Amino acid sequence: MNSLELLKHFLDLLKLAVPETVVVLTALFVLAADLVALRGLERRFRFIIGGMIACLGCVGGIVWMLISHTHENAFAGMLVVDPLTQLVKIALLALTIFTILLSMESDFTTHVGEYLALILLAAVGMMFLVSAEDILMIFISLELTSLSLYILAAFNKRDIKSAEASLKYFLFGGMSAAFTLFGLSFVYGLSGTTNLPEIAAALAGKGLDPLLVIAIVMVVIGFGFKVAAVPFHLWAPDAYQGAPTPSAAFIASGSKVASFFIFAKVMAVGFTGKEINGVYELAGSGAWHAYAPGWVPVVAILAALSMILGNLVAIVQTSVRRLIAYSAIAHAGYMLLAIVSHNEQSLASLIYYAVTYGLTSIGAFGVVAVVEQGTGGEKLSDFAGLSRRAPVVSFCMLIFMLSLAGIPPLAGFFGKFYVFSAAIKSGAPNLGLLWLVILAVAMSAVSLYYYLQVLKQIYVNDMDMSHGAGNSLNLTVLTQVILVLLAALVILFGCAPNLLIGWILAAIGSGPA
Amino acid sequence: MLAWTIYISFIGVLVLMLLPKGNAALARSVALVFALLGLGIGIAAFTQFKAGEILAVADTSWVPSLGIHYHLAADGISLTLVLLTGLAAVAGILFSWNIEHRAKEFFAFYLALIGGVYGVFLSFDLFLLFVFYEIAIVPKYFIIAIWGSTRREYGAMKLALYSFIGSAMVLVGLIAAYVVSGAHSFDVTELAKYPFPHNFQMWAFPLVFIGFAILAGMWPFHTWAPTGHVAAPTAASMLLAGVVMKLGAYGCLRVAMTLFPDGLAAWKNFFAILAIIGILYGAMVALVQKDFKFVIGYSSVSHMGFVLLGLMTLNAIGLSGAVLQMFSHGIIAGLLFAVVGRMVYDRTHTRDLDILQTMGLSKAMPFAAVTFVIASMASMGLPGFSGFAAEFQVIVGAWKAFPTLAVLTGVGILIGVAYTLRVMQKAFFGETDEKEAHAHEPMPPISPQEKLGAVLLIGVSLLIGLFPRILLDIIVPSFDSSLFDWLRRLS
């Protein structure tokens, strides 16, 4: 192979990875611009200019993916570009944009360029993660994402809680990475390949090897940490509480979407336990009993535990961030349910759920940030009487909380409905997963209680006058516009779920190249 | 056209949200206009309705991948309840004319609730029905928690959780039915045709039935109702008893019984007994209450027992009695709550019957006393009022289906007379202590809006009582439609 051919190969690869490349270049550009030109400006303007550049980069990536329709599988699954991965990447970039927009108003750091660049790098990691179908590539992108997120969590250097959050997140994350790697090494040992469909083919018909059990359990544990499923959730409440708000929002949204997508992919493609025809059959016909040695019960138990513990512990929280964290654990349980059900509907339901959940939780964190800036705290009592001080923001929070509780016609309701019906379908005709769905529905009824507690503070209770502070909420137009936009999206995707689902189904249906 | 009852309510919500803050009078008038529009549309549809038809309102694909349709339609039963909703909405606003505190929000939540209720009654797609059903839950919470009285946050939360748990049960049953039928449709007319396996019906029927019946105040899941009614502001108690409890009963009929007739046949005795217990228990508890509003709250449980019993008779007369009872109780309970909450409590600031007894209210506010006497007569089931026409049919139906239980129903009616007379006597015709009576500040007179609302509700109750055929002519033919094939099969 001469050098010219090699160059051509690289150019081809680069063409496939245009969105990622654009975002990386934007990250570098933001860093450079901040270093060279923006230093002298006020922090506010640095954030606004830098953020605008970063958003432009993301928009560029989105536009490129919208106009290019590629089906490509480069280097045996190292980089898979098809409508489905494109769609998830577009969602990730959209979540990144919202995170950046929300961070523009923040004042916790003077390292504006670094902060924005890290967000973008984390986004790049997520994008590669989504595209990977090779366990090595999966691991590398997972690390790129995680390392960026650890730093983002620690970014508020003046706050010891931020450091604590980051350290906990890092230690747990490091452990989980070790577990994942260990499990994946077993998988490689058993199958002799790093490519997911080939792994499936190699493992098919082997039955439940004890080594395979260890491998599967390790991988599930590793991903369990990532998605904060019980009993691997312990980092989440502290990380959500201590991290700067935009970082927490990004951990709760973008990271969730990417991790769940790859989790589903590894489980459904890699450990499918049956012969796969064609390269890519994530959304395969999936007869529920025909496949899946081992991991379905494991994940089902994780799902059940997450739903129970997340919802019950959230009830007693007094800090809204911790409340959102525990509710996130519960939502991870619902999403795991989608992974467990593993049929033609479940992947679509998982993506729908994860994306709408991401939008909602960014919005919720946005409101928390507004309240924190106004009152200096994020306890439930700090939200008292918010509806009279900031009716628009309060209405947005109403939408976010009700969507998380699963009240129609909001996106959260339809997501739950879609996941539950996928789960019941996968057990048909004897309704094998019905117990899990009943648990999930019962637990979501419990969840209404604590979401209403937040809304009660906002709408029912009167402001605590003794605080004195907080009469002036620093409500910028930008924040309000973003929050209203997010709330509008939550309503829109709830009232017209087909906008998103039709797109997802079309992407899944387009199948392998 | 009927679909506009829903849209007009939600447009009203938007308009109210955009109104300037602090202008309560404007908010009230706007809300009244939108409620009147909704009622007007309902009446217009009623006059053009041909008995026995299923009026198609709207049907477009909503989520094609799941076969969900935006399918609105109405038969005689839906239309009766739409009329009830319109009347209750207008009356509720007339009786909350004194809301000054955050009035614009109050009426926004109020109209959102009304819109959800219209939606439930008009949905023929069960997914859509469920969506509207849940939309109605949230405003209830806020209306009670913000504008309520006694233990309002407790009552509101209890109500919200009970409703949500009920709807969670319904959701499980609906999804399971959807998957098992394999029909790729949530349309009630489609699903009603599918013969669900017997074993499946045996657990799905009680699941969905109880899920809805919680909201209908079925014993022993009724406990949200008295606390909720008592905590709620007047308009909300009127709506709760008047319309929201009917949502539950309507769901039982339209969803649980229509989809799972085999399960119904197996469980009907069980639920009939629960209904009877509800009638007797509600009446007996109402007999010993000290709080005026609790009496009415428990009487609602008792009267809703008649609805559920009527449903369980599985014959046309019992079922039409149940539907008529839904309408009648909606009107009468609304009136009773209006007297208790608005006319009496807002002026005396007490609902304790022992204190009210000393006030001589029949002299202090004769209009309230007269209204309450009339409402009591209607509630006791005196001929000439709608309650008689409805409960009489239920009892006849029950006599055919369960002769022994029908006797107990009669006992329930007797106790009903007892508690109604007791509360009437205590609240309005107590021994007046002259000194005591004058010790109170003079009470503001009954406002024209209250008089108008009272006349409206009394008039409707009398009209239906004297000419029950107005409604029965559209209710009874509904049972001949294909939706009620199960009824002919079972009876």
pLDDT per residue over A384-413, tens digit each? 888 888 889 999 999 999 999 998 889 999
Domain that includes residue B185, residue range: 3-490
Task: Give the tens place of pLDDT for each residue, A200-223.
Answer: 888 876 666 788 888 888 888 889
**Cβ–Cβ < 8 Å for A110, A43:** yes
Residue A376: band (very low, low, confident or very high) from pLDDT cuts 50, 70, 90: confident
d(CA B133, CA A24): 48
Q: CB of B70 within 8 Å of any CB in chain A?
A: no
Q: CB of A437 within 8 Å of any CB in chain B?
A: yes
Q: What is the pLDDT of residue B280?
A: 93
- Whole-model pTM: value is 0.91
Q: CB of B168 within 8 Å of any CB in chain A?
A: yes
Option in B138, B145, B161 nearest A456 (CB): B145
pLDDT at B135 over 70: yes
Tell me whether residues A445 and B172 touch, CB distance under 8 A: no
pLDDT at A470 over 80: no
Residue A280: band (very low, low, confident or very high) from pLDDT cuts 50, 70, 90: very low
The total domain count for chain B is 1
Residue A271: band (very low, low, confident or very high) from pLDDT cuts 50, 70, 90: confident
| Angle at A501 (CA atoms; ends A497, A506), nearest 5 degrees | 150
Number of Cα atoms under 13 Å in the Cβ half of residue B274: 22
**Cβ–Cβ < 8 Å for B249, B212:** yes
Chain A residues whose CB is inside 8 A of the B162 CB are: none
Tell me whether residues A501 and B138 touch, CB distance under 8 A: no
Chain B residues whose CB is inside 8 A of the A408 CB are: 130-131, 134-135
Residue A278: band (very low, low, confident or very high) from pLDDT cuts 50, 70, 90: very low
Element (H, E) at B190: helix B188-193
3-state secondary structure string across A252-287: HCHHHHHHHHHHHHHHHHHCCCCCCCCCCCCCCCCC
Sign of CA dihedral A129, A133, A138, A141: negative
| DSSP category for residue B60 | E
Option in A425, A449, A459 nearest B179 (CB): A425
Q: What is the pLDDT of residue A474?
A: 67
In angstroms, what is the C-alpha Rg of chain A? 22
pLDDT at B372 over 50: yes
Higher pLDDT, A227 or B358: A227
Residues in Cβ contact with B485 at an 8 Å cutoff, skipping those fewer than 6 apart: B192
- Distance from the Cα of A460 to chain B's closest Cα (Å) equals 5
Span B100-121, average pLDDT? 91
Burial (CB < 10 A; 0-12, 13-18, 19+), residue B309, is: buried
Calculated CA dihedral for residues A28, A29, A35, A40, nearest 10 degrees: -150
Q: CB of B183 within 8 Å of any CB in chain A?
A: no
Residues in Cβ contact with B312 at an 8 Å cutoff, skipping those fewer than 6 apart: B268, B269, B271, B272, B275, B318, B401
Task: Give the tens place of pLDDT for each residue, A327-353.
Answer: 999 999 999 999 888 777 888 999 999
Exposure string over A52-64, b if 16+ CB within 10 A, otherwise e: ebbbebbebbbee
CB pairs under 8 A between A and B: 82
Higher pLDDT, A73 or B191: B191
Q: What is the pLDDT of residue A206?
A: 67
Cis peptide before A19 (omega within 30 of 0): no
Higher pLDDT, A33 or B362: A33
- Round the average pLDDT of chain B to a whole number and report it: 89
Q: What is the pLDDT of residue B354?
A: 81
Span B53-82, average pLDDT? 90
**Cβ–Cβ < 8 Å for B215, B140:** no
Span B41-46, average pLDDT? 92
**Cβ–Cβ < 8 Å for A387, A347:** no
Residues in Cβ contact with A397 at an 8 Å cutoff, skipping those fewer than 6 apart: A363, A364, A367, A386, A454, A455, A458
pLDDT at A292 over 60: no
Exposure string over B234-247, b if 16+ CB within 10 A, otherwise e: bbbbbbbbbbbbbb
Residue A436's closest chain B neighbor by CA? B172
pLDDT at B480 over 90: no
Q: How many residues does chain A have?
A: 513
d(CA A369, CA A117): 21
Burial (CB < 10 A; 0-12, 13-18, 19+), residue A202, is: middle
Chain B residues whose CB is inside 8 A of the A384 CB are: none
φ, ψ for residue A314 (rounded to 5)? Answer: -60, -30
pLDDT at A285 over 50: no
Q: What is the pLDDT of residue B124?
A: 92
List C-alpha distances in Å: B488 to B258, B476, B483: 12, 13, 10
Residue B22's closest chain A neighbor by CA? A388
Q: CB of B131 within 8 Å of any CB in chain A?
A: yes
Residues in Cβ contact with A297 at an 8 Å cutoff, skipping those fewer than 6 apart: none
Q: What is the pLDDT of residue B434?
A: 60
Q: CB of B94 within 8 Å of any CB in chain A?
A: no
Q: What is the pLDDT of residue A5?
A: 84
Identify the CA nearest to A155 among candidates A255, A248, A238, A237.
A248
Strand partners, B71: B59
Span B214-222, average pLDDT? 89
d(CA A279, CA B76): 56
d(CA B331, CA B453): 11
Chain A residues whose CB is inside 8 A of the B141 CB are: 452
Mutate to test the interface with B, among A491, A492, A498, A499 (most CBs of B within 10 A): A498
| Placement of tokens 């709250």 in the chain | B297
